[in-house]
Structure 1
Amino acid sequence: MHTDHFANTRDEPTGDDLAAIEAEWPQIAAEVDLVEAECRLLADPADALAKRAHRRAMTALLHLLVQQANHDAAISAAPVYTITDPRPAVPAEAA
Protein backbone atom coordinates (compact mmCIF):
# COMPACT_ATOMS: atom_id res chain seq x y z
CA MET A 1 0.00 0.00 0.00
CA HIS A 2 1.55 3.27 -1.15
CA THR A 3 0.30 6.55 0.26
CA ASP A 4 1.29 9.72 -1.55
CA HIS A 5 1.84 12.21 1.27
CA PHE A 6 2.46 15.01 -1.18
CA ALA A 7 -0.64 14.55 -3.32
CA ASN A 8 -2.35 17.65 -1.95
CA THR A 9 0.64 19.98 -2.14
CA ARG A 10 1.07 22.44 -4.96
CA ASP A 11 3.60 21.67 -7.66
CA GLU A 12 4.85 25.18 -8.31
CA PRO A 13 5.90 27.99 -5.97
CA THR A 14 3.56 30.95 -5.66
CA GLY A 15 4.50 34.48 -6.60
CA ASP A 16 5.09 35.21 -2.91
CA ASP A 17 7.40 32.19 -2.65
CA LEU A 18 9.40 33.39 -5.65
CA ALA A 19 9.57 36.93 -4.26
CA ALA A 20 10.89 35.61 -0.94
CA ILE A 21 13.55 33.55 -2.74
CA GLU A 22 14.50 36.56 -4.86
CA ALA A 23 14.82 38.71 -1.73
CA GLU A 24 17.06 36.11 -0.06
CA TRP A 25 19.16 35.41 -3.15
CA PRO A 26 22.03 37.84 -2.43
CA GLN A 27 22.59 36.19 0.96
CA ILE A 28 22.31 32.69 -0.53
CA ALA A 29 24.88 33.57 -3.21
CA ALA A 30 27.25 35.11 -0.65
CA GLU A 31 27.01 32.02 1.56
CA VAL A 32 27.67 29.73 -1.41
CA ASP A 33 30.73 31.81 -2.29
CA LEU A 34 31.95 31.49 1.30
CA VAL A 35 31.51 27.70 1.31
CA GLU A 36 33.39 27.44 -1.99
CA ALA A 37 36.21 29.57 -0.57
CA GLU A 38 36.31 27.44 2.58
CA CYS A 39 36.56 24.27 0.49
CA ARG A 40 39.36 25.79 -1.54
CA LEU A 41 41.17 26.83 1.64
CA LEU A 42 40.77 23.38 3.19
CA ALA A 43 42.15 21.76 0.04
CA ASP A 44 45.33 23.83 0.28
CA PRO A 45 45.72 25.87 3.49
CA ALA A 46 49.01 27.36 2.29
CA ASP A 47 47.51 28.78 -0.94
CA ALA A 48 47.66 32.57 -0.75
CA LEU A 49 44.92 32.97 -3.37
CA ALA A 50 42.64 30.63 -1.41
CA LYS A 51 43.23 32.71 1.73
CA ARG A 52 42.43 35.89 -0.20
CA ALA A 53 39.29 34.35 -1.71
CA HIS A 54 38.13 33.27 1.75
CA ARG A 55 38.79 36.71 3.22
CA ARG A 56 36.90 38.39 0.37
CA ALA A 57 33.95 36.00 0.63
CA MET A 58 33.75 36.53 4.39
CA THR A 59 33.94 40.31 3.97
CA ALA A 60 31.24 40.29 1.30
CA LEU A 61 28.90 38.19 3.45
CA LEU A 62 29.47 40.34 6.54
CA HIS A 63 28.91 43.51 4.49
CA LEU A 64 25.62 42.09 3.20
CA LEU A 65 24.50 41.09 6.71
CA VAL A 66 25.29 44.58 8.04
CA GLN A 67 23.30 46.14 5.21
CA GLN A 68 20.34 43.86 5.98
CA ALA A 69 20.55 44.65 9.70
CA ASN A 70 20.64 48.38 8.99
CA HIS A 71 17.69 48.04 6.63
CA ASP A 72 15.72 46.02 9.19
CA ALA A 73 16.54 48.55 11.92
CA ALA A 74 15.39 51.42 9.69
CA ILE A 75 12.12 49.65 9.00
CA SER A 76 11.50 48.81 12.66
CA ALA A 77 12.26 52.42 13.65
CA ALA A 78 9.70 53.79 11.21
CA PRO A 79 6.69 55.44 12.85
CA VAL A 80 3.76 53.20 13.57
CA TYR A 81 0.26 54.53 12.97
CA THR A 82 -2.93 53.20 14.47
CA ILE A 83 -6.13 52.80 12.50
CA THR A 84 -8.12 55.19 14.69
CA ASP A 85 -5.40 57.81 15.24
CA PRO A 86 -3.31 59.07 12.29
CA ARG A 87 -0.60 60.42 14.62
CA PRO A 88 2.48 58.28 15.30
CA ALA A 89 2.00 55.80 18.13
CA VAL A 90 3.82 56.43 21.42
CA PRO A 91 6.62 53.88 21.96
CA ALA A 92 5.92 51.44 24.80
CA GLU A 93 8.94 52.52 26.87
CA ALA A 94 7.86 56.20 26.69
CA ALA A 95 4.28 55.47 27.76
Structure 2
Amino acid sequence: MSHSNDPHATQFAAEEPTPAALAEIEAEWPQIAAEVDLVDAECRLLAEPADVLAKRAHRRAVSALLLLMVQQVNHDVGKSAPVYMLTNFGPADLAEAA
Protein backbone atom coordinates (compact mmCIF):
# COMPACT_ATOMS: atom_id res chain seq x y z
CA MET A 1 0.00 0.00 0.00
CA SER A 2 1.41 3.34 -1.03
CA HIS A 3 1.60 6.14 1.54
CA SER A 4 0.37 8.62 -1.07
CA ASN A 5 -3.02 6.84 -1.13
CA ASP A 6 -3.27 6.81 2.65
CA PRO A 7 -5.42 9.78 3.80
CA HIS A 8 -3.68 9.75 7.18
CA ALA A 9 -0.16 9.91 5.75
CA THR A 10 -0.23 13.66 5.23
CA GLN A 11 -1.72 14.14 8.69
CA PHE A 12 1.14 12.21 10.30
CA ALA A 13 3.72 13.92 8.13
CA ALA A 14 2.44 17.31 9.27
CA GLU A 15 2.79 16.21 12.91
CA GLU A 16 6.46 15.28 12.61
CA PRO A 17 8.71 17.54 14.68
CA THR A 18 10.86 20.00 12.81
CA PRO A 19 14.65 19.90 13.09
CA ALA A 20 14.43 23.04 15.26
CA ALA A 21 11.95 21.36 17.60
CA LEU A 22 14.17 18.29 17.83
CA ALA A 23 17.15 20.51 18.66
CA GLU A 24 15.16 22.18 21.45
CA ILE A 25 14.19 18.79 22.87
CA GLU A 26 17.82 17.67 22.70
CA ALA A 27 18.91 20.83 24.54
CA GLU A 28 16.29 20.26 27.25
CA TRP A 29 17.03 16.56 27.62
CA PRO A 30 19.42 16.86 30.62
CA GLN A 31 16.72 18.68 32.58
CA ILE A 32 14.06 16.18 31.52
CA ALA A 33 16.27 13.30 32.63
CA ALA A 34 17.03 15.01 35.97
CA GLU A 35 13.32 15.59 36.59
CA VAL A 36 12.54 11.95 35.79
CA ASP A 37 15.26 10.89 38.24
CA LEU A 38 13.71 13.15 40.89
CA VAL A 39 10.24 11.66 40.36
CA ASP A 40 11.72 8.15 40.60
CA ALA A 41 13.48 9.09 43.83
CA GLU A 42 10.31 10.65 45.24
CA CYS A 43 8.35 7.49 44.46
CA ARG A 44 11.02 5.36 46.09
CA LEU A 45 11.01 7.62 49.16
CA LEU A 46 7.22 7.52 49.42
CA ALA A 47 7.25 3.73 49.20
CA GLU A 48 9.90 3.38 51.93
CA PRO A 49 10.14 6.61 53.98
CA ALA A 50 12.60 5.10 56.45
CA ASP A 51 14.96 3.73 53.77
CA VAL A 52 18.32 5.47 54.08
CA LEU A 53 19.26 4.72 50.49
CA ALA A 54 15.96 6.19 49.25
CA LYS A 55 16.68 9.37 51.23
CA ARG A 56 20.17 9.60 49.71
CA ALA A 57 18.82 9.00 46.21
CA HIS A 58 16.28 11.78 46.74
CA ARG A 59 18.94 14.21 47.99
CA ARG A 60 21.17 13.39 45.03
CA ALA A 61 18.32 13.86 42.58
CA VAL A 62 17.34 17.21 44.12
CA SER A 63 20.98 18.35 44.13
CA ALA A 64 21.51 17.29 40.52
CA LEU A 65 18.39 19.12 39.36
CA LEU A 66 19.29 22.26 41.30
CA LEU A 67 22.83 22.23 39.90
CA LEU A 68 21.47 21.88 36.39
CA MET A 69 19.05 24.76 36.96
CA VAL A 70 21.84 27.00 38.31
CA GLN A 71 24.02 26.15 35.31
CA GLN A 72 21.15 27.02 32.98
CA VAL A 73 20.54 30.36 34.73
CA ASN A 74 24.25 31.19 34.58
CA HIS A 75 24.30 30.27 30.90
CA ASP A 76 21.22 32.39 30.16
CA VAL A 77 22.57 35.38 32.11
CA GLY A 78 25.63 35.44 29.90
CA LYS A 79 23.38 35.92 26.85
CA SER A 80 21.55 39.01 28.11
CA ALA A 81 22.40 42.48 29.32
CA PRO A 82 22.71 42.90 33.08
CA VAL A 83 19.51 43.77 34.88
CA TYR A 84 21.32 45.99 37.38
CA MET A 85 24.82 47.13 38.09
CA LEU A 86 26.49 47.14 41.46
CA THR A 87 27.90 50.61 42.00
CA ASN A 88 28.17 50.89 45.78
CA PHE A 89 30.56 48.34 47.21
CA GLY A 90 30.05 49.45 50.81
CA PRO A 91 27.60 48.04 53.34
CA ALA A 92 23.93 48.16 52.35
CA ASP A 93 21.76 50.96 53.68
CA LEU A 94 18.94 49.93 56.00
CA ALA A 95 16.39 50.59 53.26
CA GLU A 96 18.33 48.36 50.83
CA ALA A 97 18.68 45.55 53.36
CA ALA A 98 14.93 45.26 53.95
TM-score, scaled relative to structure 2: 0.69
Unaligned runs of 5+ in 1: 79-90
Residue 76 in structure 1 maps to residue 41 in structure 2: no
Higher helix share: 2
Q: Which has the higher contact order (CA 8 A, sep 6+)?
A: 2
The alignment partner of 1:16 has SS state of helix
* Match among 22, 27, 36 for residue 18 of structure 1: 22
Separation (CA, whole Å) in 1 of partners of 2:24 and 2:57: 28
1:52 aligns with 2:60: no
Structure 1 residue 12: Cα displacement: 1.2
Aligned-residue offset at 1:73: 0.5
Tell me which structure has the larger Cα radius of gyration.
2
Give the drift of 1:11.
2.9
User: Structure 1: which 4+ aligned runs deviate by more than 2 Å?
Assistant: none
